[in-house]
Amino acid sequence: MHLNIISQTDRRIPRKKIGELITLIEEEEEPPDSTLNIIFVGDSWIRRLNREFRGIAGTTDVLSFNIDEEPGEDCIIGEIYVSTDTAAKNARSEQVSFTEELLRLCCHGLLHLLGYDHIKAKDSKVMQTREDYYLGRMK
Q: Is the pTM of this model over 0.85?
A: yes
∠ Cα 31 51 119 (to 5°): 50
State the residue range of the domain holding 37.
Answer: 2-137
- Which pLDDT score, from 0 to 100, does residue 74 have? 78
Domains in the chain, number:
1
CATH number, residue 94: 3.40.390.30
Q: What does the pLDDT look like over 77-129, one tens digit per residue?
A: 999 999 999 999 999 999 999 999 999 999 999 999 999 999 999 999 999 99
- Which pLDDT score, from 0 to 100, does residue 133 have? 97
Extended beta strands in the chain, E state: 2-7, 35-41, 62-66, 76-83
